[in-house]
C-alpha cells in the first residue's frame, strides 16, 4: 500500500441465515438425486431457505446490525453501504438503499455491486479505497442472497448447490495491519457460463420469458468447475505475491463455499493443512455473495481467527469474476 494512505481493516462482522433447513433427503423427494451423489460431488449436506415474505434486504439488515454492534459504532456513523448481491429485492432501487433506510444509517451513501460470488471481495476493495484516501471513515459491506428465488425447482444440477443467507463486514481506519492487498479479475467471455437471462433489458419479463423459465439461474457446471479449480489458487498467490508473501505465510483461508472439490484444489495448490481452512458449505451450500462474509463471521465468532493472523479471502463467480484479499487480522 502507498504510505500516504490510511490503513484499513475489518472492525466488525455479522451474519444471518434463515432457520428453515433443506436437507439432501428433502431434495431426493423433489428431483432425481441422492444424498450420496450430492455429498460426494459437492460436500453439501443441507442449505437454508428464506420464508417467502423474506427478501435479501431483510437478511442483510440483520447481518449488518450484528456487524455494527461488533464494531461498536452507531448506524448514523456509517458513511457508505455497499451491497453485493445477484438477488436484489428489486432491480432498482438498490438493496443498499433499502438496507440504509432499515438500519437508520441516515448519513450513508448506498449502492449495489454486481460481481456474483466474488461480490463481497469486490465490495471490500471498493470500501477500502474510500477509507484509505480519507474520503470516508466507516463503510459497511454486505453480501446477501435469496438464491432460492432464482433456482429452477426441477433443475437438479443447481437446486442442490445454492442456499440463502447474509453476511456483513464493517470497515474503518486502523492503526496498523488490516487489509494488505487485493487481486481482482474478470473474464467477460465467460458470461454465458452462469447467468440469469430474463428480467433485464435484453430479455424483459414477459409471459413467454416466464413460461420458458428464463428467470432462473442457468449454469454450465463443468466449465465453471474447471475455471474455479484453476483460479482460486492463482488469485490467492497473486494477492500474496504483491506484498512479498507466499502460501507459507497464510494462517487461515476463507474460500468461497461453492463445492468441496473446488476448495480442496485451492488448498492443495496453496499447500495448506485442513486446519487452516474454513468450511461451512456442508451446512449452507453456495450462498454466492454471502458465502465469504458468513464464513468470515463464523470464523471470527468461533475464535478460529486471532489478532495478527494472516487471512486470505478468495472467491470466484459469474462474469466470470474472481478475487482475493490478504488481511492482517486486527482483533
Ligand atoms: N443428482 C444426481 N445426478 C446429477 C445431479 C444431481 N443433483 N446433477 C447432475 N447429475 C448428473 C448429470 O446429469 C450427469 O449425468 P450423465 O453423466 O448421465 O449426463 C452426471 O451427474 C455428472 O454430471 P456432471 O455435471 O459432470 O457432474 P460434476 O461432477 O461436474 O458435478 C457440479 C456437477 C456439482 C455442478 C459441478 O460441476 C460444480 O460444482 N460446478 C461448479 C459450480 C459452481 O461452483 N457454481 C457457482 C459459481 S459461483 C456464482 O457466481 C453463483
* Residue among 127, 137, 29, 12 at smallest CA distance from 65: 12
Could you say which of 24, 97, 117, 259 is catalytic?
117
Q: Taking 70 as the threshold, does the pLDDT of residue 25 lie above it? A: yes
Full-prediction pTM beyond 0.95?
A: yes
Please give the pLDDT value at position 31. Answer: 97
Please give the pLDDT value at position 129. Answer: 98
Using pLDDT thresholds of 50, 70 and 90, give the confidence band for residue 4.
Answer: confident
Residue nearest (by alpha carbon) to ligand 1 atom 9: 157
Q: Taking 90 as the threshold, does the pLDDT of residue 1 lie above it? A: no
Task: Say how many C-beta atoms besides its own lie within 10 A of residue 3's C-beta.
Answer: 4
Q: 331 CB under 6 A from ligand 1?
A: no
Please compute the mean of the pLDDT values over residues 34-40 and round it to a whole number: 98
Please compute the mean of the pLDDT values over residues 150-169 and round it to a whole number: 97
Kindly give the distance from the C-alpha atom of residue 212 to the centroid of ligand 1, in angstroms, as a whole number: 22
Catalytic site includes residue 117: yes
Kindly give the distance from the C-alpha atom of residue 222 to the centroid of ligand 1, in angstroms, as a whole number: 7
Q: 156 CB under 6 A from ligand 1?
A: yes
117-153 per-position pLDDT tens digit? 999 999 999 999 999 999 999 999 999 999 999 999 9
Q: Taking 90 as the threshold, does the pLDDT of residue 57 lie above it? A: yes
Kindly give the distance from the C-alpha atom of residue 114 to the centroid of ligand 1, in angstroms, as a whole number: 24
Q: 232 CB under 6 A from ligand 1?
A: no
Task: Say how many C-beta atoms besides its own lie within 10 A of residue 72's C-beta.
Answer: 9
Please compute the mean of the pLDDT values over residues 221-247 and round it to a whole number: 97
Please compute the mean of the pLDDT values over residues 303-315 and round it to a whole number: 97
Q: Taking 90 as the threshold, does the pLDDT of residue 6 lie above it? A: yes
Q: Taking 90 as the threshold, does the pLDDT of residue 92 lie above it? A: yes
Q: Taking 80 as the threshold, does the pLDDT of residue 2 lie above it? A: no
Please report the domains of the chain, with CATH numbers, ordered by start residue.
8-176 (3.40.47.10), 180-328 (3.40.47.10)
* Residue among 315, 142, 320, 331 at smallest CA distance from 239: 315
Atom of ligand 1 nearest to the CA of 118: 50
Q: Provide the 3-class DSSP secondary structure of residue 212.
A: coil
Of 216, 222, 287, 320, best ligand 1 pocket probe by most atoms within 8 Å of the beta carbon = 222
Look up cell 488469485; give the residue: 235
Please compute the mean of the pLDDT values over residues 175-191 and round it to a whole number: 97
> Please, which residues bridge with residue 229 across strands?
none
Contact status, residue 9 vs residue 171, Cβ threshold 8 Å: yes
266-299 per-position pLDDT tens digit? 999 999 999 999 999 999 999 999 999 999 999 9
- Burial state string for 149-176 with b = 16 or more CB within 10 A and e = fewer than 16: bbbeeebeebbbbbbbbbbbbbbbbbee
Please compute the mean of the pLDDT values over residues 242-265 and round it to a whole number: 97
Please give the pLDDT value at position 121. Answer: 98
Amino acid at each position: 500500500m502507498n504510505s500516504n494512505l490510511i490503513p484499513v481493516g475489518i472492525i466488525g462482522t455479522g451474519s444471518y441465515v434463515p432457520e428453515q433447513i433443506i436437507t439432501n433427503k428433502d431434495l431426493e423427494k423433489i428431483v432425481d438425486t441422492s444424498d450420496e451423489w450430492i455429498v460426494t460431488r459437492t460436500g453439501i449436506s443441507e442449505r437454508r431457505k428464506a420464508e417467502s415474505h423474506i427478501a435479501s434486504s431483510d437478511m442483510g439488515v440483520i447481518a449488518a446490525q450484528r456487524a455494527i454492534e461488533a464494531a461498536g459504532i452507531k448506524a448514523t456513523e456509517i458513511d457508505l453501504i455497499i451491497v453485493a448481491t445477484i438477488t436484489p429485492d428489486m432491480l432498482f432501487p438498490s438493496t443498499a438503499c433499502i438496507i440504509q433506510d432499515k438500519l437508520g444509517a441516515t448519513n450513508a451513501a448506498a449502492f449495489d455491486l454486481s460481481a456474483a460470488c466474488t461480490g463481497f471481495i469486490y465490495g471490500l476493495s471498493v470500501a477500502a479505497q474510500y477509507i484509505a484516501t480519507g474520503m470516508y471513515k466507516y463503510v459497511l459491506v454486505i453480501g446477501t442472497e435469496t438464491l432460492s428465488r432464482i433456482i429452477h425447482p426441477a433443475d437438479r444440477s443447481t437446486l442442490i448447490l445454492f442456499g440463502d443467507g447474509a453476511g456483513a463486514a464493517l470497515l474503518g481506519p486502523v492503526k496498523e495491519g488490516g487489509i494488505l492487498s487485493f487481486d481482482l479479475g474478470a473474464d467477460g467471455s465467460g458470461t454465458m457460463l452462469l447467468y440469469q437471462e430474463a428480467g433485464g433489458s435484453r430479455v424483459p419479463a414477459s409471459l413467454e420469458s416466464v413460461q420458458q423459465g428464463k428467470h432462473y439461474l442457468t449454469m454450465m457446471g463443468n466449465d465453471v468447475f474447471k475455471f474455479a479449480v484453476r483460479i482460486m489458487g492463482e488469485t490467492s498467490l497473486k494477492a500474496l505475491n504483491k506484498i512479498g508473501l507466499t502460501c507459507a505465510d497464510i494462517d487461515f483461508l476463507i474460500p468461497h463455499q461453492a463445492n468441496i472439490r473446488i476448495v480442496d484444489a485451492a488448498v492443495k495448490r496453496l499447500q495448506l493443512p485442513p486446519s487452516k481452512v474454513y468450511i461451512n458449505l456442508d451446512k449452507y451450500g453456495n450462498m454466492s455473495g454471502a458465502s465469504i462474509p458468513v464464513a468470515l463471521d463464523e470464523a471470527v465468532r468461533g475464535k478460529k481467527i486471532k489478532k495478527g493472523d494472516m487471512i486470505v479471502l478468495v472467491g470466484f463467480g459469474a462474469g466470470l469474476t474472481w478475487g482475493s484479499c490478504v488481511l492482517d487480522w486486527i482483533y
